[in-house]
Structure 1
Amino acid sequence: MKISHLASIILLATSTLSGCNEKTVSVNPQSPQLLDSYQSRLDIYTPVTLTTDLSHLSDNQKKMIALLIEASDIIDDLFWQQAFGPDKKAFLSAISDEKVRKFADINYGPWDRLAGDKAFFTTVEEKPLGAEFYPHDMTKEEFETADFPDKKGLYSLVRRDKNGQLTTIAYSEAYSEQLNRIAVILEKAATFAADKEFANYLTMRAEALRTDNYQPSDFAWMEMKNNPIDVVIGPIETYEDQLYGYRAAFESYVLIKDMAWSEKLAKYAAYLPELQKGLPVSKKYKQEIPGSDADLNAYDVIYYAGHSNAGSKTIAINLPNDEEVQLKKGTRRLQLKNAMQAKFDSILVPIAKQLIVPEQRKHVSFTAFFANTMFHEVAHGLGIKNTINNNGTVRQALKEHASALEEGKADILGLYMIRQLLKKGVITEGQLEDYYTTFLAGIFRSVRFGASSAHGKANMVRFNYFAEQGAFTRNEQGQYSVNMEKMTNAIDGLSKLILEFQGNGDYQGVDKLVKKSGIIPQELASDLARLENAGIPVDITFNQGKKILGL
């Protein structure tokens, strides 16, 4: 019988536990002990109160928001199970120090998500790459040679049957009690929705949670255009599955639409087909046509839960992930304006003062930061979703590297889009140097999340590629400046490389690239240490909930 990580950390009894194919672990039954080296990392998150003006909403809409937050709380518990183990309360209550307990809560377990998932307790072993999606004693060889239903499924757990063979259990079965509760709450929330399309989405999403069939509700979500309230909820991103990138983790966002900002952004989506044609790669890698219903909107986020709330906080969303929905309908890009502003003010501006040369600091702006983030999400719709050589989808062909390469593609093609739209006069704010310089400062911000996550690997591959191409230089004071011409050439070169890897489904090529360039060089590590010494937070954490919102 396999023991959970929770059991190996807390031990509700004073005994020593052991499990099949796992090491025996002895643990202090009183309280997990923090590693001495971690005392300095307990303050890397700065708290932000997550709120917005709700005065324009009706009483029914406020009731609906309260219900969506309740559903999100259950989602949060489900993600704890997927990321760490079944008993969140027992784990946290065993930690006596309040700051340590808060740090563990932010990380959804005993592994530091912004330091390569390093364990921060003395008695904790390395985090399994497959989190809780797979048996801990399963090898890659065993998985790849085994034949069982839904082997690469997004919405199932891999488990052992009574004979010890690999099999799967659907999320709707494994988490049936919690998912049914969420479904009931969503159905009740739908009764308070004035927008019929949003009410329809909520009821369809409830059905999806019960059946594991999410595509109909994804199509329904794409049909919503005028709803002032939104919720993204369910098993969505596959980043938590670092073993294969197959399994989706639970998360939720509750959102209030900023109508004025959304109207400003609406014009950009229409340029996707034209920008697809102009990608710096041969025609066979851009033969897919982005969906025509893609749209851009700005929101204030009022609640995060599950994967979206673990470690670094998401500031923009590009969904759905379903390749078929993307090709038929496109995607929706949601810019989380209030969270983005908080990161810019608290983190990016102080970083620029430390690491960008004085003469280029004036080019670091919120307008550019917002646009770089937004066009990153838009750029997910460019490129290719299916390999050109019958290797299936890009996600399946590139396995655990698919997410990292996709994030790298979105970053680099976002800059390509900005450059093209500035040339066309579609973007009228700022100059190209603003976007490039802010992007460079943004790399330093993102690199501090570590190199283990999909975003972290993408950041390092890009940073090291830019360094090789001379896209930026570093002076004796450890300050960086952008070389505009070489930056443009590096953007086009890396765009071509990534799109070809994706189109070819070249797993070996990507694996080699990540192993070579997905690391933090020593010189950069010393520069990042300066940011730590200056007391600049790595990321934000939220004071959030119904009480904060006055609900």
Structure 2
Amino acid sequence: MKNIQKIATLFIGFSITACLFACSNSGQTTDKKEKITKDSLQDYVAQRLPIYEKVRLSTNLNQLTVSERKVLPLLIEAAKIMDDLFWKQAYPQRDSLLNTIKDENTKEFIKINYGPWDRLNGDKPFVTGIGPKSETGTFYPAGMTKEALEKSDVKDKYGLYSVIRTEKGKLISVPYHVLYATELQKASSLLKQAALLADDAGLKKYLNLRADALVTDDYSASDYAWLDMKTNGLDIIIGPIENYEDKLFNARAAFESYVLVKDKVWSKRLAKYVAMLPELQKGLPVAAQYKKEVPGTDSELNAYDVVYYAGDCNAGSKTIAVNLPNDEAIQQKKGTRRSQLKNAMQAKFDKILVPIAKELIDKDQQQYIKFDAFFANVMFHEVAHGLGIKNTISGKGTVRSALKEQYSWLEEGKADILGLYMVTGLLKKGELTGDIKEYYTTFMAGLLRSVRFGASEAHGKANMQCFNFFKEKGAFERTANGTYKVDFDKFAVAMNELSSFIITLQGNGDKAAVEKAQKEKGIIHPELQTDLDRLSKKGIPVDIVFEQGVDVLGMK
């Protein structure tokens, strides 16, 4: 800690906004051509904006205690600070950009995407003068290569909670709690205030420890306290968490927050499944050396109403289930908490998945599209993050460190397919009810929903790999009517083969092989794109955006 003051002083002279993003203006366009360019971009935005359906985030306030009613607004205020911090990470020139834009649709689209790149269309720029999205972003010096960092002697080279900067021609790392000290102190104070008001002992402890973590970048104690909470009615996920925004290494975490109200009835129903992980691990369809690890079972599987999204989780596609913490050591020792965001999930099912199924799923199989199957598929996706392998068998360390920027999309693909594997196994054991046809057909519709997120996004790549793999195995057919029909027997076979393929890639820690798999399978072919375009022409939304906050909740 003794060098923090020195680093902070040095950092005052740094400019984190200059030269971060490429500019595409040639300086040679005529006024007429420039006008056409602007018009075409506004037309693009006008076409893309309706892909998001507005949803109000609410919950039954009558279920909250007096104390929880006081705590909830403080949690939302802390979450708003994470939103501001994510803007600084994603596009620090937000205000100057918005001030130069006259078109209201473009302003709204910028806010949805946290910058001038369309997150659900391969990060396509939609503002005149903006070039491609930089891989280095705000996490590294502009133009820095992977090789330059790998060869350097900078400390915290791949740190979750720091940025890399250049000082006097040398690379240095600057911790988040130094770089964003003012904002993090404010958020910490809000969590401390909430802790004073909280009447649940577990929540009180977690809020205090998380408040400390925000200003130290040491999150382990608060992660353990979060996993220990059992009787809380409110929850908040807050801090730098996922590393999707770091396009260079998938190493550095982005700020986000979810404010949650527990659905205690549904949570009670889900409690039994985590205990089944070790048995399911033993049955994985992969060679024995890839399934020796024993998953942690001292974790929670809960359902929530989410009442506020902020930062990374609110950018582009919206998460409807969360599996945390990401720390592999904590996962193996303690497990994870799987949070199902039930109200957001229901909104996506009603407004997106059902209309997609009516358009693209074979008429004879549309009867199998069920919310309970959708809920289970999403839920077991999160549970399945705890299955498989966390450490390579090749001596390359953790899977995350071995695969670097290729880790996230493959891990999401693993969770997708092992979630379906879990559903299949639990149905056979009688631990789940329903028809396997419902789960498989709804999974197929879910693939068609998620591939619309685009191949630049981790979940989109994962779903494209699954779609292309299943297509090659004949797990479904595209009929003469342009609809998709599941072959249930081949679907099960393809599920097991893809499970084995992904776990083996992870266990070997072979980054080149994973890159090859992405290039071959993580792409959208023209025939599928034509079908996805049909959905857009029908006006079926791709994702949702939120009306949220204390006003929407009726707490003012």
TM-score with structure 1 setting the length: 0.94
Q: 74, 89, 94: which is aligned to 1:82?
A: 89
- Measured against aligned partners, the alpha-carbon deviations of 1:403-434 in whole angstroms (never above 9, x if no partner) come to 00000000000000000000000002x11110
- How many corresponding residue pairs? 536
| Structure 1 pair 24–296 and aligned structure 2 pair: CA distance change class (3 A) | closer
| Structure 1 pair 3–35 and aligned structure 2 pair: CA distance change class (3 A) | farther
**What secondary structure is seen at the aligned counterpart in 2 of 1:191?**
helix
Which residue of 1 is the match for residue 119 of structure 2? 113
Matches within 5 A, 1:129-208: 129-161=135-167, 163-208=168-213
1:102 aligns with 2:115: no
Structure 2 residue runs of 5 or longer lacking an equivalent are: 1-12
Which residue of 1 is the match for residue 5 of structure 2? none
Q: 469, 474, 481: which is aligned to 1:477?
A: 481
CA shift, 1:122, in A, is 2.0
| Structure 1 pair 24–383 and aligned structure 2 pair: CA distance change class (3 A) | closer
Which residue of 1 is the match for residue 128 of structure 2? 122
Alpha-carbon distance between aligned partners in 2 of 1:93 and 1:301, rounded to the nearest angstrom: 31
**What secondary structure is seen at the aligned counterpart in 1 of 2:272?**
helix
Which residue of 2 is the match for residue 295 of structure 1? 300
Alpha-carbon distance between aligned partners in 2 of 1:225 and 1:344, rounded to the nearest angstrom: 29
Alpha-carbon distance between aligned partners in 1 of 2:136 and 2:535, rounded to the nearest angstrom: 32
Task: Output the amino acid matched with 1:264.
Answer: R
CA shift, 1:284, in A, is 1.0
Alpha-carbon distance between aligned partners in 2 of 1:507 and 1:21, rounded to the nearest angstrom: 27
- Asked whether the equivalents of residues 281 and 499 of structure 1 are also in contact (C-alpha less than 8 Å), the reply is yes
Alpha-carbon distance between aligned partners in 1 of 2:282 and 2:192, rounded to the nearest angstrom: 42
- Asked whether the equivalents of residues 320 and 331 of structure 1 are also in contact (C-alpha less than 8 Å), the reply is yes
Alpha-carbon distance between aligned partners in 2 of 1:353 and 1:143, rounded to the nearest angstrom: 49
CA shift, 1:95, in A, is 2.1
Matches within 5 A, 1:188-267: 188-267=193-272
Alpha-carbon distance between aligned partners in 2 of 1:36 and 1:23, rounded to the nearest angstrom: 21
CA shift, 1:43, in A, is 1.1
Which residue of 2 is the match for residue 349 of structure 1? 354
Which residue of 1 is the match for residue 512 of structure 2? 508
1:52 aligns with 2:56: no
CA shift, 1:295, in A, is 2.0
Task: Output the amino acid matched with 1:300.
Answer: D
Alpha-carbon distance between aligned partners in 2 of 1:165 and 1:22, rounded to the nearest angstrom: 23
CA shift, 1:312, in A, is 0.8
- Asked whether the equivalents of residues 32 and 95 of structure 1 are also in contact (C-alpha less than 8 Å), the reply is no
Which residue of 2 is the match for residue 279 of structure 1? 284
Task: Output the amino acid matched with 1:497.
Answer: F
- Measured against aligned partners, the alpha-carbon deviations of 1:226-250 in whole angstroms (never above 9, x if no partner) come to 1000000000001111211100100
Which residue of 1 is the match for residue 70 of structure 2? 63
Structure 1 residue runs of 5 or longer lacking an equivalent are: 8-18
| Structure 1 pair 463–22 and aligned structure 2 pair: CA distance change class (3 A) | closer
Alpha-carbon distance between aligned partners in 1 of 2:505 and 2:483, rounded to the nearest angstrom: 33
Task: Output the amino acid matched with 1:449.
Answer: F
Alpha-carbon distance between aligned partners in 2 of 1:4 and 1:473, rounded to the nearest angstrom: 50
Which residue of 2 is the match for residue 525 of structure 1? 529
Q: 488, 491, 496: which is aligned to 2:492?
A: 488
1:442 aligns with 2:449: no
Alpha-carbon distance between aligned partners in 1 of 2:145 and 2:223, rounded to the nearest angstrom: 34
| Structure 1 pair 444–136 and aligned structure 2 pair: CA distance change class (3 A) | same
Alpha-carbon distance between aligned partners in 1 of 2:44 and 2:112, rounded to the nearest angstrom: 18
Alpha-carbon distance between aligned partners in 2 of 1:380 and 1:198, rounded to the nearest angstrom: 25
Stretch of structure 1 that moved more, 288-297 or 346-355: 288-297
- Asked whether the equivalents of residues 32 and 94 of structure 1 are also in contact (C-alpha less than 8 Å), the reply is no
- Asked whether the equivalents of residues 21 and 137 of structure 1 are also in contact (C-alpha less than 8 Å), the reply is no
1:414 aligns with 2:429: no
Q: 85, 93, 110: which is aligned to 2:99?
A: 93
1:333 aligns with 2:338: yes
**What secondary structure is seen at the aligned counterpart in 2 of 1:138?**
coil
CA shift, 1:3, in A, is 7.2
**What is the Cα-based RMSD across aligned positions, in Å?**
2.0
1:543 aligns with 2:540: no
**What secondary structure is seen at the aligned counterpart in 2 of 1:167?**
strand
- Measured against aligned partners, the alpha-carbon deviations of 1:181-235 in whole angstroms (never above 9, x if no partner) come to 1001100000111101111100100111111111111011010011000000000
Q: 37, 45, 50: which is aligned to 1:38?
A: 45
Which residue of 1 is the match for residue 323 of structure 2? 318
- Measured against aligned partners, the alpha-carbon deviations of 1:315-365 in whole angstroms (never above 9, x if no partner) come to 000000001110011001000000000000000000000000000000010
**What secondary structure is seen at the aligned counterpart in 2 of 1:298?**
strand
**What secondary structure is seen at the aligned counterpart in 2 of 1:43?**
helix
Task: Output the amino acid matched with 1:433.
Answer: K
Alpha-carbon distance between aligned partners in 2 of 1:486 and 1:249, rounded to the nearest angstrom: 39
Alpha-carbon distance between aligned partners in 2 of 1:329 and 1:60, rounded to the nearest angstrom: 29
CA shift, 1:62, in A, is 1.3
Matches within 5 A, 1:360-379: 360-379=365-384
- Asked whether the equivalents of residues 130 and 240 of structure 1 are also in contact (C-alpha less than 8 Å), the reply is no
Task: Output the amino acid matched with 1:547.
Answer: D
Deviation beyond 6 Å, 4+ runs, structure 1: 1-5, 26-33
CA shift, 1:88, in A, is 2.6
